[in-house]
Structure 1
């Protein structure tokens, strides 16, 4: 089982998302009236918070709730009923409420141990809703907790994400379940070996052959192609239920990413002179790219200079954004990121923060449209960019970043809902 947690300010939007607008199975409620609809549960949490408004008047609580996500593996949760989920939830809450010291990576190199005030989730208002992945059907649990416990004290959220991981690890040990990170590392190593074996078996590098050979080995591989040029591949990943493994996590030094995989192929098959389907043969210019691609990059604003025939790329920002249990790898020019960051507009009366909207914009920049839409919904917004959304052929990085920022701000605008009875 793996667990994630974060303190949030958009509790109302998270309630809608966690319950899928009243379509998810409610596994358990705590210190809430029976039979309430989802928004009724949230209203009771808000009412409880208002009782202690004076106590926190000097320092109002901005992050009013905590969201957790518990994801057992398919093998662990097979044949579970509601009672089994309740027992798992109770065990997790018991463990996290007893954590008083957290090991983490400090600002300086090495691990550090920090004392924390234990949470009191067992004596707080909360509800837990069961989701099932739309494609794989693998279930996972969303838990929304009131920051103010029943005694009027604030649940401490310092290192709450690390605490969730620690609590899940203890639960795994109790049941003899494999540690999630160990499973992932072994899976990455296995996929890496499979990819290298496929490359060794190929007489010339071809994306379709590469993917087909991996599929015959039982892997669910997805090639991410350019929207305007379906021959060109700009990324790929492997799917395992609700989790994914990106090409950037494979190999040594990102040796199996799109930008490096042909060099890796040549190293494994030095006697061959491979040419990728839909790509030009390697140029005689001693540079990382051909002169044609250099000139195109310069004219589109995607590079800074060309020195001695070599392309000098701008500094790049790298970030991983998690949405609904999936990790999305963001790689974008720093100049585009700075432009995007300066263009973010936070809608009035909404629950989305500047950082929430920025994350949505970065997902749009990388064409992760479903993830961007899902994240905007969890922040109280909604809608989608539309079927015609995409980067224009001649649009440079900064113009594309500006457009993504504007679209993200629009997606995160709060949806006007009718009055509830």
Structure 2
């Protein structure tokens, strides 16, 4: 199960999206609320939010996505349990919240909206809320016997083990041509074996790593092998350079 979370200011628009009947939406969880319509829920949120005018992004929007296989088996009662467990683990049980399931696509998922302001007017700390959501979703999945993100990735890598091994072997053969300043020869050598290499550049125009593609499969360098992360590639190249320098020095 994957979890995504962020703090937002557009409460009504988000709850309206969760309620959207074109998404075959159903309410799967409701806590500390008297109403269920988006407008009335928003108004109830606003009453509590008025106690803390300093907090502008005063609603949390979470998305909880089980795997397709798990989602096909989950009933409304079980979706309620997932949401309730998530709320409890996040320590948001004393906040107003409402959740909807969307079943319009094969990938069933939950949209959960929580008032960030509690009944004492205190705002829940949203520092690193995205990472915290991922971590709690992992805990909930383990508790309820659902597949975690880690398990899905491990299954994928196990099924692709032969491909990853092939890429690693060809990388080792081509590594002599690796140069952090000019990777074209290294890339050309791997392409001779049918492996496409795509440099990943960050927003500061700095090389962040590589993606390797072979037989319609695509992997980050670290997914092929931990030694193919950009930091390890650079480290290995520097170590190899120092070794060659010492060897050549002894021969003189």
In the superposition, the TM-score normalised over structure 1's length comes to 0.38
Is the Cα contact below 8 Å between 2:55 and 2:123 reproduced in 1? no
Structure 1 residue matching 2:55: 3-state secondary structure: coil
Between Structure 1 and Structure 2, which shows a larger proportion of helix residues?
Answer: 2
Match of 1:24 in 2: 25
Is the Cα contact below 8 Å between 2:66 and 2:147 reproduced in 1? no
> Against the structure 1 CA distance between its residues 43 and 84, is the aligned structure 2 distance closer, same or farther, given a 3 Å change threshold?
same
Match of 1:3 in 2: 3
CA distance in 2, matches of 1:133, 1:265: 41
Match of 1:331 in 2: none
CA RMSD in angstroms, aligned pairs only: 3.2
1:264 pairs with one of 170, 180, 190: 190
Structure 2 residue matching 1:27: 3-state secondary structure: strand
1:139 pairs with one of 108, 112, 125: 108
Match of 2:65 in 1: 71
Deviation at 1:192, TM superposition (A): 7.3
Q: Which structure 2 residues correspond to residues 111-190 of structure 1 after superposition, within 5 A?
A: 121-132=92-103, 134=105, 137-188=106-157, 190=159
Structure 2 residue matching 1:156: 3-state secondary structure: coil
Match of 1:103 in 2: none
| Alignment coverage as a number of residue pairs | 182
Is the Cα contact below 8 Å between 2:5 and 2:133 reproduced in 1? yes
Q: Which structure 2 residues correspond to residues 271-310 of structure 1 after superposition, within 5 A?
A: none
CA distance in 1, matches of 2:47, 2:7: 19
> Against the structure 1 CA distance between its residues 139 and 149, is the aligned structure 2 distance closer, same or farther, given a 3 Å change threshold?
same
Higher relative contact order (CA 8 A, sep 6+): 2
Deviation at 1:76, TM superposition (A): 2.4
Deviation at 1:17, TM superposition (A): 2.0
> Against the structure 1 CA distance between its residues 33 and 175, is the aligned structure 2 distance closer, same or farther, given a 3 Å change threshold?
closer
Deviation track 1:105-140 (CA, whole Å, cap 9, x = no partner) reads: xxxxxxxxxxxxxxxx21111110101253xx2211
Match of 2:227 in 1: none
What are structure 2's unaligned runs of at least 5 residues?
167-185, 196-202, 209-252
CA distance in 2, matches of 1:9, 1:154: 13
Structure 2 residue matching 1:267: 3-state secondary structure: coil
Is the Cα contact below 8 Å between 2:4 and 2:64 reproduced in 1? yes
What are structure 1's unaligned runs of at least 5 residues?
98-120, 198-259, 270-313, 320-421
CA distance in 1, matches of 2:11, 2:162: 44
CA distance in 2, matches of 1:268, 1:38: 53
